[in-house]
Amino acid sequence: MKAISFDKTGTPADDFAVLQIREHAIPEIGDKEVLIKMSAVSINPGDFLFIQSLYPEPKKPNFPKQIAGTHGAGIVVKAGKNVSYQPGTLVYFSYLKSWAEYAVVPEEWLIPLPSDYPLEKASQFGNLVSAWDMLEESKVKPGDWLALTAGNSTVATMVSQFANLRGVNVISLVRKVQEHVPLNDLGVTKIIELSKLSCNVHDQIMEITKNKGLNGIIDCVGGPVTGELIQTLSFDGRIIIYGGFSSEKFELHNFDILFKNAVMKAYGYRYFFQPPTEEDNFLLQKIAEAANTPKFRVPIGGMHALEDYKTAIYESIHHPERGKRFFIFSDEREESI
């Protein structure tokens, strides 16, 4: 089988030689594992953290020929004798070695999806889970105001659509409006284009909310803008932090937190260290159903074969605002190898 693998850690943005497309043997499965024929894999920032060996154990590369990729969707084509999944099942997983034509995954890490689930959503189901979780953590209610940084990003557009379904007002902060990302059609109430802003972010937020302020912030950028956003929080407001694209810091005074009873909380993907549990099944089905409508959209930057990995990775790193990039294999939903 073809797979993208690496023999040393590094940053693909600086050195494409870190990654190579090579032939690998189709792996054997154990009694509690399945063999998955990959259908689609979305390329996320976390994939590059893995290649740089920035994740803690157990998500560290194992050389030589470590296959890249940490999640994806595909069809079960072979199951171990102690596995309940049948061949032909469409599954998502957040595990390892997904940038390949086939992957072996322990049963406990699988999330089953409807057989006709759109692959651009199935392959990044983990992002849907994160978007849902952070919206829950923000505690916003119908009529409240929620601000999202990096508004053109996949996770932000997922949050905005889930928020819109709940009647929450969404302010999306973007460096530049992108024509192919129609934010107003993706649940966004107001857009703040930072490159064209004539006043500071604080004043713009207060004008939009008619001095009510923000009830919630979901931030993956950081920097001075985050500090301004926190200062616009209303009483009991919350900020959820899940990334740090900016290299700059933000500053706050204690009273920015104390006088508003504000909560600042970090969010990490819930299935990073632990697999889904039986108790999660109802929630996962609920998330899958909420996103499985034509109106719920995922901006697509491009679908790429493994052989086109240099273009796919370059665009993912340097132009994420152009939409999510995917490795696409097949959509045959076949039942056997």
How confident is the model over 187-237, as pLDDT tens digits? 999 999 999 998 999 999 999 999 999 999 999 999 999 999 999 999 999
Q: Distance (Å, rounded) from C-alpha 193 to C-alpha 153?
A: 14
pLDDT band at 337 (very low <50, low <70, confident <90, very high): very low
Q: Distance (Å, rounded) from C-alpha 13 to C-alpha 228?
A: 31
- Given a contact cutoff of 8 angstroms between Cβ atoms, the answer to whether 231 and 252 are in contact is yes
- Given a contact cutoff of 8 angstroms between Cβ atoms, the answer to whether 240 and 218 are in contact is yes
Q: Distance (Å, rounded) from C-alpha 308 to C-alpha 300?
A: 16
Q: Distance (Å, rounded) from C-alpha 14 to C-alpha 296?
A: 35
pLDDT band at 331 (very low <50, low <70, confident <90, very high): low
Question: What pLDDT is recorded for position 231?
Answer: 96
pLDDT band at 15 (very low <50, low <70, confident <90, very high): low
pLDDT band at 179 (very low <50, low <70, confident <90, very high): confident
- Asked whether the predicted pLDDT for residue 183 surpasses 60, the reply is yes
- Asked whether the predicted pLDDT for residue 333 surpasses 60, the reply is no
pLDDT tens digits for range 31-40: 999 999 999 9
Q: What is the mean pLDDT of the chain?
A: 94
pLDDT band at 149 (very low <50, low <70, confident <90, very high): very high
- Asked whether the predicted pLDDT for residue 336 surpasses 50, the reply is no
- Given a contact cutoff of 8 angstroms between Cβ atoms, the answer to whether 329 and 38 are in contact is yes
CB contact set of 86 (below 8 Å; sequence gap of 6+): 76, 79
pLDDT tens digits for range 38-80: 999 999 988 999 999 998 888 899 999 999 999 999 999 999 9
Secondary structure (DSSP) of 63-131: SSSEE--SEEEEEEEEE-TT--PPTT-EEEEESS--SBSEEEEEGGGEEE--TT--HHHHTTHHHHHHH
Q: Distance (Å, rounded) from C-alpha 19 to C-alpha 137?
A: 37
Q: Facing residues of 75 across strands?
A: 37, 90
